[in-house]
Amino acid sequence: MGILINKSENIFSLQSKNTSYVFGVDSEGLLRNLYWGSKIQDIEDFDMPILTEVSTNDPVYEITREEYPVYGSLRYKEHCLKVTFSDKSRELVYKYSGYDINDDELIIKLKDSYYDFNINLHYKVYEQYDLIERYVSIKNNSNDIIEIEKIHSGQFHIPYEGLNFSNVHGHWGAEQQRFIQKVNYGKIVIENRRGISTHNHNPYFILDKDATETTGEVFFGALKLSGNFSGIIEQTQYGETLVQMGINSHDFLMELKPKEEFVTPAIIAGYSNSGFEIMTHNLHNFAKDNILRKGLRPVLYNSWEATEFKVSCDEQIKLAEKAKEIGAELFVVDDGWFGERHGIDNGLGDWYVNRDKFPDGLDPLIKKVKDMDMMFGIWVEPEMVNPLSQLYKEHPEWIYHFETRESDTSRGQYVLNVTKKEVKEFIYNMLDNLLSTYDIDYIKWDANRPMSQTDIEKDIWYKHIEAIYDIVRELKIKHPNVLFEACASGGGRIDYGILGIFDDFWTSDNTDAYDRLFIQDSYSYIYPIKAMRAWVTDCPNFLSKRVIPMKFRYHSAMMGTLGVGCNILKFNEDEIKLSQELIKEYKEIRHIIQEGDFYRIENTSKNNYSIYQYNKDGESLLFVFLPQSLIGHRGTNIKLRGLENNSKYIIRINGEELIKSGDYLMNRGLEIKLSGDYASDIIKINKI
């Protein structure tokens, strides 16, 4: 079992395959972290150090490495929980009151010393993946309301200073740009305050001690929450670094009613002593095995860039026929099929088929798509409404608003208050009716603006995304074969909270194949390749104005779940033939890409190669990109990863076949040289 307990000392050890996470209860009843790192088998080795004050200005509460610090007493550090009781007391004083074990989950029970208020810390061990899951449940056993002002899901202690913190920054069209920041004195805060999504930061932390892909210590955690999150990273004055993550306390207040319980979103966390690669594999494998829907993702064609809002049945049928010709398996009609939707200013909320565009409804198009043995998908933006829509005219009270203020429009739309029972039911019923009426296999769910004027209830920021989760969960129960894609004006909703509720992530509206190499690289550190939608689109690219050869565009998009968004009606014979060849190739190798192990390979050349590897059951792929050949036009030496030392492998490259041993390929490596600008290649390596 992954949970060890020294009952006489009240010390607990969470044991995974290669790691240990240890904490215990001290003589004051405080829960203190003792260790997080490589596996230590014997729990008897741990004892509870006695803490002494540095001075009266450095009290014990400040120095104590508390598992879950609360507001009150001589604590001036970051706290995870702050409440106000009915008598207006704002101090928590917790005492340890025991533990429970349910299978592979440990529950530490804390109780306030005066009020009838329980705090339960939950720890679930995933031994095989070297991961632990942490969350907190709080329960109001009193007869009065307790106000929750702040609640984070957990705090982690790392016994080092001078660590490197990495996350992503960005904005629309430039999401998932990885940055590395040295942790020093002061606090690093990452957060979202927009409610709907954020393109700026992502709800995870990576802290490393000068790690590389394959060496060094890495501590990491990903929060299972879409919407308003916060993460705090702080190097303390006492020789350690701490991390907290949870619901953002910005404009947040939640009433915990009598006998009511609240459960926080969880954090999936882990440790690697062998660099970022192990972190990535553990998270990817956990997601593929435990979160994501089983089965390979289909090759998608989306009509947006071909038609934008000028949707018509005849034009969509022509696109579907051409999509089938090049090898697509799923045809998706994007925005513009419903209501008076001729641009961004109208239609949202009026989810009926536009009869001018589809005189006989969607059935003729869907029948044509199905007759060609393709799946059918459709775009929706259910959380939004346009002021000009019929829905808004009938229900102006359904949006987030203040009675005395004019509500903001952004992209010509309001945000519906999904926390209202009637609004939530409207969205569910609308989608259920759509899925029940038509033979739809795929829903692309978009959200194109942040929230504002969120009314008087300050827990709406959190309840909004919970309502969205609920709607999709219920729809998938009734329509279990429908795939859902999370899109938020691009890559705003990429997180472990929505992963598994939705099946695909739209990674970015930026479909430039060169830019996508950076976006996809950053994404890969935490999130599984199987959920990463990537499209081939037309050139010049609408955003970068860059012209990139089609082969490079396909290879870049083939690194994830392949989609095509070009106006394929304008393809010439060569473009159709190349598309057919590359889509056929993708179908032959996608099981390796979507379900295999992913490696970011070091480039040893002065030329700016980008190199990635995928392994699955003796099959390997190398994706090699050279966006621009620099002076010297050098090749690169590629040392492969994850092969078997004593096995032989056949390498197919440049129309030739080589046979090499696994230890040769991993230690000596392959000499690869690409020529020209926007050169790319996929090299296949198979165990003999």
539 alpha-carbon distance from chain centroid: 29
Helix orientation angle between 573-595 and 313-326, rounded to the nearest 10 degrees: 70
Of 22, 23, 35, nearest to 160 (Cα)?
Answer: 35
Catalytic choice (459, 509, 515, 597): 509
Based on the residue annotation, tell me whether 446 is a catalytic residue of this protein: yes
246 alpha-carbon distance from chain centroid: 15
Report whether 11 contacts 24 (CB < 8 A).
yes
Report whether 636 contacts 611 (CB < 8 A).
yes
Which two structure tokens, joined as six digits, stand for 566?
């070009």
Q: What is the DSSP string of 412-467?
A: TBEEB-TTSHHHHHHHHHHHHHHHHHS---EEEE---S------S-TTHHHHHHHH
Element at 628 (helix H, strand E): none
Catalytic choice (446, 459, 503, 538): 446
Of 329, 435, 326, nearest to 382 (Cα)?
Answer: 435
Based on the residue annotation, tell me whether 42 is a catalytic residue of this protein: no
Tell how strand 532-536 and strand 504-506 pair up. parallel
Q: Which amino acid is at 588?
A: E
What distance, in Å, lies between the first and last C-alpha atoms of the chain?
A: 38
Report whether 83 contacts 94 (CB < 8 A).
no
Which two structure tokens, joined as six digits, stand for 298?
């289909």
Q: Which residue has the tokens 């490259």?
A: 653
Which two structure tokens, joined as six digits, stand for 521?
């690289």
Please list the residues that pair with 140 across neighbouring strands: 117
Element at 36 (helix H, strand E): strand 31-38
Identify the DSSP state of 686: E
Q: What is the DSSP string of 220-254?
A: EEEE---SSEEEEEEE-TTS-EEEEEEE--TT--E
Q: Where are the alpha helices (DSSP H) in 456-512?
A: 460-478
Of 336, 329, 331, nearest to 307 (Cα)?
Answer: 336
CB neighbours (10 Å) of residue 96?
Answer: 17
CA–CA distance, 572 with 575 (Å, rounded to integer) = 5
CB neighbours (10 Å) of residue 152?
Answer: 28
185: buried, middle or exposed (CB in 10 Å: 19+, 13-18, 0-12)? Answer: exposed
Please list the residues that pair with 338 across neighbouring strands: 353
Element at 483 (helix H, strand E): strand 483-486
Q: Which amino acid is at 289?
A: D
Active site residues: 446, 509
